[in-house]
Structure 1
């Protein structure tokens, strides 16, 4: 039966729109309370905003750090779109800020709808999905990111693509036959994921590789692998050629890995008395956006040269302190899933860091428990979800996570947490249905 002819599906969809509208209103109210109708400015989302403004002025992908020229500090799609919006609305004024907020909320809303579709594909009950969507929409832990950061950064778009990759995988697992065009579509989704967020591309790719090895014939595997390589080459080759031409370096993804490695791995980070102070000091010591000394060094050495230099220094420290490095990796991996309050102080907004951290942790713990129970009960799709969640956090173990990274998993955990709660409620009978205990004679 199609969705159009299915009254349950129609009723299910009818409850989604009001919740999405409420979510948008909550986030707009937060943004207006935080900064009003402020024009677009570099302080909004750091380097990403600067690159978008550069695009809007016709200077291309440049000036992630003032005056440094062409950049590969971030992948091109989000700042190109944001820069186009700023240009279309006449420059970095309030109209552009409103349009960019709408763009960010559209990405967020599409991500929510895809998450709902994903869990429908794996047969989560409608009432459970409604609870998961309500939790995601009405507990706005990431409102600052959803209204400001994702105007320029990739988080919401990455959630859309990663969720689409999982939903399509589960759809094909339900099918008796798989057509060649299905594999081409899957390859395009995986390529898009890698183009927007390497972590999402890696996690989606691992899940699809496991699917291919267990479900596809050798001929289908060859077709799928070839299509994925070709689809990835469509963006990786021109992007690399561009970076060779303007940066004199064959950068395939981003130029900032050495910088991020240096920020997250150093002696002071191993046992800090105050992690927030340590992190702030480290940013001022090595990040050209936050400190005058590193900015001057980057002006002298260039963006790529500076990132490589601080990356080599970090690698030297790692080689001399392997146990400390592994300790930091474990801590970073945990902080990706269970962010601490001080991390939210370095979010897009430092409002209510403790409350946001507690809410995120509660949702994550409930989601992890739900995931483990689902695997134990052999529920369809739960092992694949576990693989995706485990892998998407691995790249962030090498760096110091910030809340914007944890957004990649928050929606999945909201639905899984709702599943745990609704299943627990089903197992507890209403008071009127409980057997009456007789007093002992």
Structure 2
């Protein structure tokens, strides 16, 4: 005689119910957005004047808004440092007036776009609403991301452009989307010249993530070339302007050689060292115009690398650590430009320490998620290559660039929304596994 076994549905654990609520309830998403917005508005109340690089960008934007052109400190036309950010900020200043308020509100709009892209890309890359929301929450409370909003630095605007360009490529449904992507990457290149490295990376992931790789190669190769060509066309008017006003063809900017030399000379430490004797001597050398000085800096930097390959190799881990080990560098801007810094120095320092600990946790989750995702995809019989790799590709490109030039923690800022997305996926995955513990199927014999 056999007995029939009746299986009753498993009763969800309390944690599982809370995870479902987090992933599905509209009020949760609204709450995350409210927190994201409020923290960024709050930091705009801090009075902080532009200093160092920010002062340069702010001054160029004021000049452009006044119709005076892109000029150096002596009033001569220049192509020093990419002009995309001052041009964008100059347009804002021309419309709303040159002020810290206009700057802050423009950065706030860019920061909200970063949040929207983080949520949308989190859903697309990881196929999970809960993971996308968790990523947005992690980004919402990330102190260093918040701290940049009042600053006249490139990072917030550039990150929004980079993420928007990636979103268009990942979600494209027609060739017209490639036109939009080309324009976005072109503008991003005007802000950071190395941006176009990302385009081949995007199409390489697209090519390898599915089968029939050789059959799909010609189409994807052509689409990638189209995006690169459209990006180049977007930059072309600025290149022509440089030839007319400087008398030389300068694609984007004239600081590439200077940046190379600051990271590769006899006293280089792996960090950005513009005060090194060889750099200061070159910058003060008479008889060289801006373009010639940049070319000479590039020659000196390459000559040093060629003559000292062993010393160059020893700098690589130092550059890597300088890029990825510290975080919270936004505090430096407040230290130099916020009148109230001395009064609240202990608060700033405490936030910096808190931020560093938070950053370490994010990066640890980012590293662990790589191996967890590969294991899960292999377990489920999926190809291990997929769009989930995009955050790691975005992290790779500034790493490779800094290894050649110099390491600065500021350069990993555009990677951090991607890190938060990935850490959000890992957190929801781990909590999901934890919610399954202790549940059992009730049976009746």
TM-score surpassing 0.5?
A: yes
1:133 aligns with 2:141: no
Match of 1:23 in 2: 36
Distance 2:71 2:43 in 1: 31
> 2:275 aligned to 257, 276, 284, which one?
284
Q: Which segment is superposed worse, 213-222 or 240-249?
A: 213-222
Match of 1:325 in 2: 312
User: How big is each residue's C-alpha offset from its partner over 1:372-397, in whole Å with a ceiling of 9 and x where there is no partner?
Assistant: 32133236422344333323432122
User: How big is each residue's C-alpha offset from its partner over 1:187-210, in whole Å with a ceiling of 9 and x where there is no partner?
Assistant: 444444434433333123322145
Distance 1:158 1:49 in 2: 15
SS of the residue 1:251 aligns to: coil
Decide which structure has the larger Cα Rg and report it.
2
SS of the residue 1:73 aligns to: coil
Tell me how far 1:98 sits from its aligned partner: 0.7
Q: 1:10 to 1:364 in 2, by over 3 A?
A: closer
1:246 aligns with 2:226: no
| Pairwise CA RMSD | 3.5
> 1:204 aligned to 199, 203, 220, which one?
199
Match of 1:82 in 2: 89
- Check the 8 A contact 2:325/2:409 in 1, yes or no: yes
Distance 1:429 1:85 in 2: 49
1:159 aligns with 2:159: yes
Tell me how far 1:270 sits from its aligned partner: 4.2
Matching of residues 81-120 of structure 1 within 5 Å:
81-91=88-98, 96-120=99-123
Distance 2:74 2:357 in 1: 40
SS of the residue 1:141 aligns to: helix
1:56 aligns with 2:62: no
Match of 1:348 in 2: 333
Q: 1:179 to 1:417 in 2, by over 3 A?
A: closer
Distance 2:263 2:256 in 1: 11
Q: 1:401 to 1:23 in 2, by over 3 A?
A: farther
SS of the residue 1:26 aligns to: helix
- Check the 8 A contact 1:347/1:404 in 2, yes or no: no
Matching of residues 339-418 of structure 1 within 5 Å:
339-340=325-326, 344=329, 347-350=332-335, 351-352=348-349, 353-378=352-377, 380-418=386-424
- Check the 8 A contact 1:257/1:307 in 2, yes or no: yes
Higher relative CO (Cα under 8 Å, sequence separation at least 6) belongs to 2
Q: How high is the TM-score relative to the length of structure 2?
A: 0.76
Matching of residues 248-327 of structure 1 within 5 Å:
248-270=247-269, 282-285=273-276, 296-297=284-285, 301-327=288-314
Distance 2:170 2:214 in 1: 12
Distance 1:171 1:232 in 2: 19
Tell me how far 1:405 sits from its aligned partner: 1.3
Q: 1:81 to 1:248 in 2, by over 3 A?
A: same
Distance 2:241 2:186 in 1: 19
Q: 1:256 to 1:202 in 2, by over 3 A?
A: same
Matching of residues 181-200 of structure 1 within 5 Å:
181-200=176-195
- Check the 8 A contact 1:264/1:399 in 2, yes or no: yes
Distance 2:161 2:25 in 1: 23
Structure 1's unaligned 5+ residue stretches are 1-7, 173-177, 435-441
- Check the 8 A contact 1:73/1:256 in 2, yes or no: yes
Tell me how far 1:103 sits from its aligned partner: 0.4
User: How big is each residue's C-alpha offset from its partner over 1:201-220, in whole Å with a ceiling of 9 and x where there is no partner?
Assistant: 31233221453573874663
Structure 2's unaligned 5+ residue stretches are 1-20, 336-347, 378-383, 441-445
Q: 1:205 to 1:188 in 2, by over 3 A?
A: farther
Q: 1:229 to 1:433 in 2, by over 3 A?
A: closer
